[in-house]
Every structure is written in C-alpha cells, then in structure tokens.
Structure 1
Amino acid sequence: MVVFISPVVLYGYQFGIGLWSEHSKWAELGSFLSGVYSPVIALFAFIVLLVQASWQSKINKYQYDISYISANRDVIDYYIEKMEQYLEKKNEQGVTISQELVQKYYAKSEDALQLERDQISNYITAFHPKVSGIWSALYPILNAMGSNSEFPYEHNYLGSIQKIETILTLPVCVAIDKVYFCINRRVNPSETLFWEGGKNITSGST
C-alpha cells in the first residue's frame, strides 16, 4: 500500500495537486503516474504469476503422485490376491503351500540358505514358480515407493508393507523373502523387506 501511495504524496509535496484548469498540468501528472506505476504494477503482476505457477506446479505434482501411488496400489493388491490364492493350494501331502514354505525356510539362517541356495532355487523354480514370480514383480514396485521419503509415498509404502504382512502373515513373508534371496543372487538379506523384521525370531532356530 505504501508503494502505491508514496509517489502521489511526493508529487503533491513537490508540485502540489489541485483541480487545474490547464490541460498541461493534468498531462504532467498523468505522465508521472504512468511512469511510476506501470513498472510497479508490472512487477506486482509478475510476482502474482510466479506464485500462481508455483502453486500450479505443486498441484500438478500432487495429482501425479496420487495417480502414481493409486496405480501402484492397484497392482500390489492384484499381486497379493494372486499370491494368497496360490499359497492356499495344497500339495500332494495335503499341506498348503504357505505352510510348506514356512516349515522349510522360515527358520533357516543365512548360512544355511547359502549352503542350500542352488537346491532351493531349483526346487522353487520347478514346483512353485508363481511364488518367485509374484515376489519378484512386487519388489520393484515397493522399492520405488519406499525410495521416496516424502508424503504420500512413505505413508503408502509403509501401508502396503503392513497390508502384505497382514494378509500373508509375517512368517510366510519371511519364508518367501528367503526364497527370493536364494533365487536372486543380487539380493542381500539387508535389502529384504520382511526377513529383516523376522531375524530376531529366526536367529535362534537354525
């Protein structure tokens, strides 16, 4: 407000302001006001445009983030449903695949897995390829979401992890993580999402 009033006050103080009868006086005042206020108004308009552009950029990013996360959650839900359906199937001994995986791999230590890595990898690839396939498809999606610590990425990442753990149960997730470790040579135990959470349970029962 001061920026807009000050030029008029200064002009009036220096030259006086009144209802002049001479056209030239009004022309001089108009020329002065135009010269002063045009740059000020242009600067003000530029600032407004910058603010609008900044807000629009934030809105666009938020909309993209929500759309990206929503699409990923749909894919995650699809894979979880397919994994749950497969794990509920029974093998020739009448044991569900989830029970089989937990019995065989949940309590195995890293050293034991290293010794039996090829054997486990060949067995899963031959008899339960869906387990490794679905898990291998889930990991890149979860890791991509987890790599961004900003809201809403981290919030949805943690929610997805909790959802998977709740539906499949932690022992099953740990067992599949260990199978995933055996099949994928580039994976370290520290990079798994569920095995690390179950280490305190499994470390004493090799």
Structure 2
Amino acid sequence: MTWKNAGLCLLGIAIAATLLAPIGIYIQHFGSKISSNHELWGQMGSAMSGIYSPILALATICILALQYRVQRRQQKYIETKGVIDAAYSDAMAALQIIDTELASTDLKKAMRNLPDFAKMEPHEREKKEGFYASIMGDYLKAHDRLLPSWQRVYLNLVGLKDLPSEQVKLKFQVGTTASYHIAIALDRLHYLCMNDSGVQYLYDASLNDSKKPE
C-alpha cells in the first residue's frame, strides 16, 4: 500500500468516525430504544441538525477547496504542456531550416573547426574570435538563415529552464536530430557571434550529452 492510498484510508476512517460519533454519544446518553413519543423525535432531530449542519458545511468547504486545487493543477498542466509543445515544434522547424543551410560541406567543415572560446584566456580568446569571425562572416552572409534558426533553438531550450527534465529531453532531441557534432559547432558559432549578449553554451563536447534522458 502506497502512502497516498494509506492517507486516503485514514481520511475515510476519520470522516466515518466524525459522522458516527454524534450518534454514538446520543445512544450512550439516551439509550438505543426507539421511542413512540413525537416530541422526543423532534428533540433528537434538532440535536442532530445542530451537530451535523456545521460538519456538513465544513465538508462542503473542504470539497470545494479540493475541486479548486484540482482545477488549478489541471490548468497548470495544460499551460505547461502548451509551452513544451510549442518549444518542441518551433525547435524542430528551426532544425529543418538548419539542415537545408548545412547542405554545404565546406560550411560544416568550417564550423567543426571552431574552438571552445569559453575555455580560452581573455587575450587568446580575443585573437581567436577575431580570426574565426572573419572566416565565418562570409559563410553566414551566404547562409543568412543559419544563425537565426539556431537562435530559435537556443531560446526554446533556455525557455524551458524552469522545467529541467523537459529541457534535457528537448536538448537530447535536438542533439540527435542535428547530430551532436553539429549542435556543438552551432553552439560555438552562436557564442562567437553573440557572446556580448551573455549567451552560454548548451552543448559541451566534454560532457556525455548524447545519453538518452530518463
């Protein structure tokens, strides 16, 4: 039996005890003999009404509060699922554009030669960034949809930061769709072109990002 089932059993027992306790107390004090006196029946009815009315009112409030909580969870789930579905859809559409832009073998080769700028010393990074920016500039002019499309993927991944498990799943999906070599290269290209905007790497060649998430 799970904790949830145990909790429901205890709740059921508590509710039954609350409803039966007044009857038990009444029988203990006044006996269980059924009276033929209408006045006594009226008195018992008044007593039971005074006891059960607030109990039922409290139960109604609890049920309404529970319904509200369930509805809020359902609404949050629907909203969250909408965000996730939109992120997946937009990222996959962007990857289709990237795949078209990467039909050039020379562009792929140039991208794969991009070093890890984030791990360089500042003076070395400045020189390397200038050198590779001049090389990649011509490619980006010829393939002007490449970087904006990866920016879409990047923003969709960053947008799921509050849903880390979904972020990892989308990251894996992007990596397997584009290939991890391409994802790492695009990540470095994005960093090279946008590092003044505070962008971060999403794919690290030293990490086992290709492991399928649970």
The two structures share one fold, judged by TM-score above 0.5: yes
- Aligned 1:154-169 pairs, distance under 5 A: 154=165, 156-169=166-179
The aligned residue for residue 112 of structure 2 is: 102
Alpha-carbon offset, residue 199 of structure 1: 8.0
- Aligned with 1:192: secondary structure? coil
The aligned residue for residue 205 of structure 2 is: 197
- Aligned 1:66-81 pairs, distance under 5 A: 66-81=81-96
Using a 3 Å threshold, how does the CA distance of structure 1 residues 13 and 165 change in structure 2: closer, same or farther? closer
Partner of residue 126 from structure 2, selected from 111, 114, 118: 114
Cα deviation code 1:92-138 (max 9, x no counterpart): xxx442223224x1577635543143454461553433222112222
User: 2-side partners of 1:182 and 1:18: how far apart?
Assistant: 91
User: 2-side partners of 1:107 and 1:52: how far apart?
Assistant: 53
User: 1-side partners of 2:206 and 2:143: how far apart?
Assistant: 23
Partner of residue 187 from structure 1, selected from 189, 192, 198: 198
Aligned-CA RMSD value: 2.6
The aligned residue for residue 52 of structure 1 is: 67
Number of residue pairs aligned between Structure 1 and Structure 2 = 186
Paired-residue identity, %: 18
1:52 maps to a residue whose letter is: Q
- Whether the aligned pair in 2 keeps the contact of 1:120 and 1:179 (CA below 8 Å) is no
Cα deviation code 1:32-54 (max 9, x no counterpart): 00000111111222222222222
- Aligned with 2:188: secondary structure? helix
- Aligned with 2:197: secondary structure? coil
Using a 3 Å threshold, how does the CA distance of structure 1 residues 5 and 159 change in structure 2: closer, same or farther? closer
Cα deviation code 1:14-41 (max 9, x no counterpart): 2345443433211111100000011111
User: 2-side partners of 1:145 and 1:107: how far apart?
Assistant: 25
Alpha-carbon offset, residue 73 of structure 1: 0.5
Using a 3 Å threshold, how does the CA distance of structure 1 residues 136 and 169 change in structure 2: closer, same or farther? same
User: 2-side partners of 1:40 and 1:142: how far apart?
Assistant: 50
Alpha-carbon offset, residue 82 of structure 1: 0.6
- Aligned with 1:129: secondary structure? coil
Using a 3 Å threshold, how does the CA distance of structure 1 residues 166 and 132 change in structure 2: closer, same or farther? same
1:182 maps to a residue whose letter is: L
- Whether the aligned pair in 1 keeps the contact of 2:98 and 2:149 (CA below 8 Å) is yes
- Whether the aligned pair in 1 keeps the contact of 2:91 and 2:152 (CA below 8 Å) is no
Comparing 112-121 and 22-31, the one that deviates more: 112-121
1:139 aligns with 2:154: yes
Cα deviation code 1:43-84 (max 9, x no counterpart): 222222222222222222222222221111110110011101
- Aligned 1:23-62 pairs, distance under 5 A: 23-62=38-77
- Aligned with 1:147: secondary structure? coil
The alignment's TM-score, normalised by the length of structure 2, stands at: 0.74
The alignment's TM-score, normalised by the length of structure 1, stands at: 0.76
- Aligned with 2:205: secondary structure? helix
Partner of residue 175 from structure 1, selected from 176, 182, 185: 185
- Whether the aligned pair in 1 keeps the contact of 2:116 and 2:188 (CA below 8 Å) is no
User: 1-side partners of 2:32 and 2:207: how far apart?
Assistant: 85
